[in-house]
Chain A
Amino acid sequence: MDAAAAPIATRPAQTGRVARIEAAVPWVVLAAAAVALPLFDDSYAGVIAQRACIYWILCAGLNLVVGYAGQIAIGWVALLTLGAYTTAVLTAGTVMEPWHPYIALVASGVMGAAFGFIIGLPALRLRTFYFAMTTLGFSTIVTQVALAWKSVTGGGIGTPGPVFPWPFEPGWGFYYFCLLLAALATWMTANIASSRFGRGLVAIRDAEVAAEASGVAKGRLLMTVFLFSGALAGVAGGLFSSLQSYITPDAFTFDLSVLFFIAILIGGRGSILGPLLGTIILTVLPEFAAPLVAWSTFLYAALLLVIVLAIPGGIADLLDYKNRRPLEQHREIVTRPELLSRILKRQDGGGALELRGIELHFGGVRAIDGLDLEVRSGEVHGLIGPNGSGKTTALNVISGYYRPQAGQARLDGETLPFLEPHTRAGQRIARTFQTPRLIGGASVLENVMIGGTVEGRCSFTEAMLSLPRHHRDEAHLHEAAMTALATVGLEGLAAVRADRLQHSELRFMEIARALMVRPAFLLLDEPAAGLSAEEIRRLGALIKAISRSGTGVLLVEHHADLIFDICDRVTVLNLGKVLAAGTPAEIRAHREVVSAYLGA
């Protein structure tokens, strides 16, 4: 039987179904409780529930920004304010003919999206703390403008909120409206979260460098998410103005921003259910303990501190029993190079990846001082040299993270642009890293699926609305990732959280991720570091098989045996310059190489 056609274990599919049913249980319980609430005929509970729904609509969007993308946006109440005033002013008729509440609500969504985009722009260029500060400043500005622009917002006096018509009139009707929109928001954000966009966000948060190498376009993705989250926040604001029946600027306090932010962190980053529970808890809690009301913000802050110090993963972590099951102790990585034909398309040779005349310095340090390098398809090209000789830097130049002061990188004769590392995946150039870059909180499978980002066809909207193309994408990516994992021998660990893996397994996981790009050229940065002898042997066989499929491999390594075993050609660097280049036999005998690096 052809080894390449052998089926990969079917167990994951079975546990998949059970896992899906288990995952659905909390949602069913929540939905049932929410729909049944009016039966208890307690309008006070109704008001609190409406508030929870409204806050959740905003938090569902903010969850993508804070929980998934990891942006510290602590001034989000500004968008609630904008949405609330937009709806209220448009329906009050002070500035123009009164609009219908539903249309005003849509307008709020648009306003929210626009300002979400504006708030998000600094996130692309600024460090975390700076961005946090700008969101703070922005929320103060919005409140002050609301106060100052008396003719439109009513200034300090405020303006009445809209009353929605039947069947969503104030009371239980409006409750169902909020519940409906909250459910919609949950569904859409959950769809995004489980799509390549959600995975891309988490990748940007935890392993930005690897995300870029896999083709995740950070700028576009972040701005799309800010747009979407802003829209949700705007709609939440419109609903808020109706719940309050009358809005004044002093309703939009910094305490609210803190509440939203903390709800997400308590719930846990990278989860939908966790922040939902967090939002419900933080909305309902003050109502249970009247004397605690004055201390509520203090308690929220204390809770945040405890979470950050003790349970950074939040509620979601506590509920994640799956990842507390112990793993098999002595795991073996059994690579299956024969599966490569399913992943890599056979290529005809003739292509080349080259560096010509690269010069790169950081301040006074000359990292690369005139480098010419050529990797041909179908060959394994070793790159060796002492520490600090510029090997990893050379890889980084090819990847596009740096712009050298002189020189060019070319793929099949076409120049590769520098400082655009996210375009490399589209050019079918993939790489691994000296220290494994992983998303600790995601599963191994999800980590590998990141590699397939550029293969995705569906748009953000299609993912959000769970349209067929999104499902086709996901099925395809899932299958490809499982194949890649089987190739490197890790398919048994597909569902395990990546941060539970051993070091050597992480190295192979990176290779699987790189294979997802279907690379024409693969750059490996010390993949054998920390591996056992047997693992190195299997790694060597795998790399050889990859090159035989037509992929050109550039291998940076310190393990001389591995280099001389599998490389077709070797280049030696020293102090940023090429010391020698040729076949392994030539290099092994080269006097200067021996004295500078190899030793007798």
Chain B
Amino acid sequence: MSIKRREVLAGSAAVGAVALTSGLAAPAIAQNEPIKIGYLPALTGPSSSTGIGINRGTLMGVEMINASGGVNGRKIELIVRDTQSDPTKAVNAVAELTQRQKVAVIWGPLNSGEALAATPLIARDKVPMLHPCWVDSLINVQKYPMAFRNAPTNQQIGAAANHYVVDVLKLKKVAVISDTTGYGTASVEAYVPMLKAKGAEVVYSGHVDAANPDLKPELLRMRNAGAQAIMPWSVNAGFLSRILNTRGNMEWDVPVVGQTTLGSGQTKALLEKPEYWNKVYSNNFKKVCFGKDGKLPPAAEEFVARLRKEKVEMGDTLLWWIALGWDGSRMMAETFKAAGSKAGDIVGYWNKLKAWPGVYGTITFTPEQHNGFPDDEVVMCEVNSLKDGAFNLAPGYSS
């Protein structure tokens, strides 16, 4: 046998042995060991804008907690696995986090596509899970007893938008459009019946590939059908900006009411003319909007001041994303402080959480309801009032 071949075989056996045995050592949880949080953001890949925003808040929160001594003397360790907006990477990462790293809790995934695949697996591994994704089916107390959501559901978001169009703007004929992602299609599926139940007429409803550069055919169809408002549901800034640009080029004066990303810095950058951002209203959250007095609620004011001090970039993202990340890390830290890091204790604590005061939202869980965001805090805002990532409440809007 030639030496080369022997070496190759021996080498591969060695690599295999190392890879397997590194899984053998299960770390003993000593008193001063850090508390591990498994974190599954999508920081790269096509749907990464949400993740990047939430990430800033999460990191800032964890840093602050660790800087002031951690939780009962133990530091918090964020174990980050970038899912790259890819469900297969999310599945691999879940296995690593729950089995090998043995994390106490999982924060994320931050995108619905990955959350759909990850949630059943995390539930199977019996690890508590906190996530901010909106797809309704992701929370189910029977199927996923350890999964909790600290953000609104698609139902709540759609209800707020529909309420604004039908009850505040008093418009009857509506066009609903989304991209072809999981989030987009699920939204349209859910909202169209809700609109009809409110007595509105859905004159157009469709899905378009976000990469399609020409949306004029769709908007022409909407106009021909007599639409009085356009409701787009997508987190893709390119897609949303094309809708606004086409509306402007057609000189079609209808309000656009829909997804929060309508108001993001990325969407703004892609507009052909600044005035195309007029008469656009997007979902937002009461606690991070400028009120009638032109000021943010006190908690948000304080938060923005902190962001300025830490020189965290706000202009190219949304304030509520950063606030959500901040709230998430703080809530988990307080949970560890109050209940420890065992799964059953964490879940028990969360099941009793009442009106937890976040910068982003006031979170309440019960054993039957793991969706924590209150209905009345979902509002519409006017996007062209963007200032430091926050907006004014939309006009005519009486909460």
- Residue in A41, A47, A286 whose Cβ sees the most chain B Cβ within 10 Å: A47
**Nearest-CB distance from A408 to chain B (Å)?**
57
Choose one: B86, B120, B137; the contact of A250 (CB below 8 Å): B86
**Contact between B9 and A26 (Cβ–Cβ < 8 Å)?**
yes
Give B1-34 interface residues, CB cut-off 8 Å to A. Answer: 1-2, 4-5, 8-9, 12-13, 16, 19-21, 23-24
**C-alpha gap A321/B3 in the complex (Å):** 10
Stretch at the interface among A240-248, A421-429, A529-537: A240-248
**Nearest-CB distance from A222 to chain B (Å)?**
30
> Is residue B44 within 8 Å, beta carbon to beta carbon, of the partner chain?
yes
> Is residue A129 within 8 Å, beta carbon to beta carbon, of the partner chain?
no
**Nearest-CB distance from A447 to chain B (Å)?**
25
B-side contacts of A255, CB under 8 Å:
86
**Contact between A319 and B23 (Cβ–Cβ < 8 Å)?**
no
Q: Given A156-B184, A158-B116, A251-B87, are A42 and B99 also a contact pair (CB < 8 Å)? A: yes
**Contact between A155 and B117 (Cβ–Cβ < 8 Å)?**
no
**C-alpha gap A277/B9 in the complex (Å):** 12
**Contact between B92 and A248 (Cβ–Cβ < 8 Å)?**
no
Q: Given A244-B88, A250-B113, are A319 and B5 also a contact pair (CB < 8 Å)? A: yes
Give A289-317 interface residues, CB cut-off 8 Å to B. Answer: 290, 293-294
B-side contacts of A112, CB under 8 Å:
none
The residue on B at minimum CB distance from A287 is B92
**Contact between A51 and B92 (Cβ–Cβ < 8 Å)?**
yes
**Contact between B91 and A244 (Cβ–Cβ < 8 Å)?**
yes
> Is residue A29 within 8 Å, beta carbon to beta carbon, of the partner chain?
yes
User: Chain B 79-98, CB within 8 Å of chain A: the 1/0 string?
Assistant: 01110111111011001100
**C-alpha gap A286/B96 in the complex (Å):** 12
User: Chain A 138-169, CB within 8 Å of chain B: the 1/0 string?
Assistant: 00000010011010000111101000000000
> Is residue B100 within 8 Å, beta carbon to beta carbon, of the partner chain?
yes
- Residue in B9, B92, B116 whose Cβ sees the most chain A Cβ within 10 Å: B116
**Contact between B96 and A287 (Cβ–Cβ < 8 Å)?**
yes
> Is residue A97 within 8 Å, beta carbon to beta carbon, of the partner chain?
no
Q: Given A293-B82, A321-B4, are A44 and B96 also a contact pair (CB < 8 Å)? A: yes
**Contact between B44 and A294 (Cβ–Cβ < 8 Å)?**
yes
**Contact between A156 and B8 (Cβ–Cβ < 8 Å)?**
no
Give B58-104 interface residues, CB cut-off 8 Å to A. Answer: 80-82, 84-89, 91-92, 95-96, 99-100
Give how many A residues have a beta carbon under 8 Å from the other chain's beta carbons: 48
Choose one: B4, B19, B99, B113; the contact of A284 (CB below 8 Å): B19
B-side contacts of A156, CB under 8 Å:
180-186, 207
The residue on A at minimum CB distance from B182 is A156
**Contact between A245 and B120 (Cβ–Cβ < 8 Å)?**
yes
A-side contacts of B13, CB under 8 Å:
29, 33
> Is residue B192 within 8 Å, beta carbon to beta carbon, of the partner chain?
no
The residue on A at minimum CB distance from B119 is A246
**C-alpha gap A319/B5 in the complex (Å):** 7
**Contact between A160 and B91 (Cβ–Cβ < 8 Å)?**
no
A-side contacts of B84, CB under 8 Å:
293-294
**Contact between A248 and B95 (Cβ–Cβ < 8 Å)?**
no
A-side contacts of B91, CB under 8 Å:
47, 243-245
B-side contacts of A246, CB under 8 Å:
87, 116-117, 119-120
**C-alpha gap A48/B88 in the complex (Å):** 11
B-side contacts of A160, CB under 8 Å:
120
> Is residue A43 within 8 Å, beta carbon to beta carbon, of the partner chain?
yes
**C-alpha gap A121/B136 in the complex (Å):** 43
**Nearest-CB distance from B86 to chain A (Å)?**
6
**C-alpha gap A195/B13 in the complex (Å):** 31
**C-alpha gap A245/B92 in the complex (Å):** 12
**Contact between A319 and B8 (Cβ–Cβ < 8 Å)?**
yes
The residue on A at minimum CB distance from B82 is A293
**Contact between A45 and B117 (Cβ–Cβ < 8 Å)?**
no
Choose one: B23, B124, B137; the contact of A44 (CB below 8 Å): B23
**Contact between B20 and A45 (Cβ–Cβ < 8 Å)?**
yes
**Contact between A248 and B87 (Cβ–Cβ < 8 Å)?**
yes
**Nearest-CB distance from A366 to chain B (Å)?**
54
**Contact between B5 and A150 (Cβ–Cβ < 8 Å)?**
no
> Is residue B209 within 8 Å, beta carbon to beta carbon, of the partner chain?
yes
**Contact between A158 and B24 (Cβ–Cβ < 8 Å)?**
no
> Is residue A40 within 8 Å, beta carbon to beta carbon, of the partner chain?
yes
**Nearest-CB distance from A8 to chain B (Å)?**
28
- Residue in B9, B92, B186 whose Cβ sees the most chain A Cβ within 10 Å: B92
Choose one: B24, B135, B182; the contact of A42 (CB below 8 Å): B24
**Nearest-CB distance from B285 to chain A (Å)?**
24
**Contact between B92 and A48 (Cβ–Cβ < 8 Å)?**
yes
- Residue in A42, A157, A256, A286 whose Cβ sees the most chain B Cβ within 10 Å: A157
**C-alpha gap A150/B187 in the complex (Å):** 13
User: Chain B 133-153, CB within 8 Å of chain A: the 1/0 string?
Assistant: 001010000000000000000
> Is residue B121 within 8 Å, beta carbon to beta carbon, of the partner chain?
yes
Choose one: A37, A250, A251, A318; the contact of B20 (CB below 8 Å): A37
B-side contacts of A253, CB under 8 Å:
86
A-side contacts of B1, CB under 8 Å:
22
> Is residue A25 within 8 Å, beta carbon to beta carbon, of the partner chain?
yes
**C-alpha gap A157/B4 in the complex (Å):** 51
**Nearest-CB distance from A432 to chain B (Å)?**
36
**Nearest-CB distance from B22 to chain A (Å)?**
8
**C-alpha gap A42/B99 in the complex (Å):** 7
**C-alpha gap A191/B116 in the complex (Å):** 40
The residue on A at minimum CB distance from B44 is A294
The residue on A at minimum CB distance from B180 is A147
**C-alpha gap A37/B19 in the complex (Å):** 11
Choose one: B20, B24, B117, B135; the contact of A247 (CB below 8 Å): B117
**Contact between B181 and A250 (Cβ–Cβ < 8 Å)?**
yes
> Is residue A357 within 8 Å, beta carbon to beta carbon, of the partner chain?
no
**C-alpha gap A155/B187 in the complex (Å):** 12
**Contact between A170 and B21 (Cβ–Cβ < 8 Å)?**
no
**Contact between B184 and A44 (Cβ–Cβ < 8 Å)?**
no
A-side contacts of B121, CB under 8 Å:
245
**C-alpha gap A359/B23 in the complex (Å):** 75
Choose one: A26, A290, A321; the contact of B2 (CB below 8 Å): A321
**Contact between A293 and B95 (Cβ–Cβ < 8 Å)?**
no
**Contact between B185 and A45 (Cβ–Cβ < 8 Å)?**
no
Choose one: B24, B96, B116, B120; the contact of A157 (CB below 8 Å): B116
**Nearest-CB distance from B207 to chain A (Å)?**
8
**C-alpha gap A79/B12 in the complex (Å):** 31
**Contact between A48 and B95 (Cβ–Cβ < 8 Å)?**
yes
**Contact between B19 and A45 (Cβ–Cβ < 8 Å)?**
yes
A-side contacts of B207, CB under 8 Å:
147-148, 155-156
**Contact between B113 and A248 (Cβ–Cβ < 8 Å)?**
yes
**Contact between B182 and A157 (Cβ–Cβ < 8 Å)?**
yes
**C-alpha gap A253/B46 in the complex (Å):** 11
Choose one: B21, B44, B87; the contact of A244 (CB below 8 Å): B87
Interface residues of A, Cβ cutoff 8 Å to B = 22, 25-26, 29, 33, 37, 40-48, 51, 144, 147-148, 150, 155-158, 160, 170, 243-248, 250-251, 253, 255-256, 277, 284, 286-288, 290, 293-294, 318-319, 321
**Known A250-B181, A294-B84; further 4 A-B contacts with Cβ < 8 A:** A37-B20, A48-B95, A250-B86, A294-B82
Q: Which 3 A-B pairs have the closest CB atoms?
A: A42-B23, A156-B185, A47-B95
Q: List 30 A-B contacts (CB under 8 A).
A: A25-B9, A41-B24, A43-B95, A44-B96, A44-B99, A48-B92, A147-B185, A155-B182, A157-B135, A157-B137, A157-B185, A158-B113, A158-B116, A158-B182, A170-B124, A245-B91, A246-B120, A247-B87, A248-B182, A253-B86, A256-B88, A277-B12, A288-B19, A290-B80, A290-B82, A293-B84, A294-B44, A294-B82, A318-B8, A321-B5
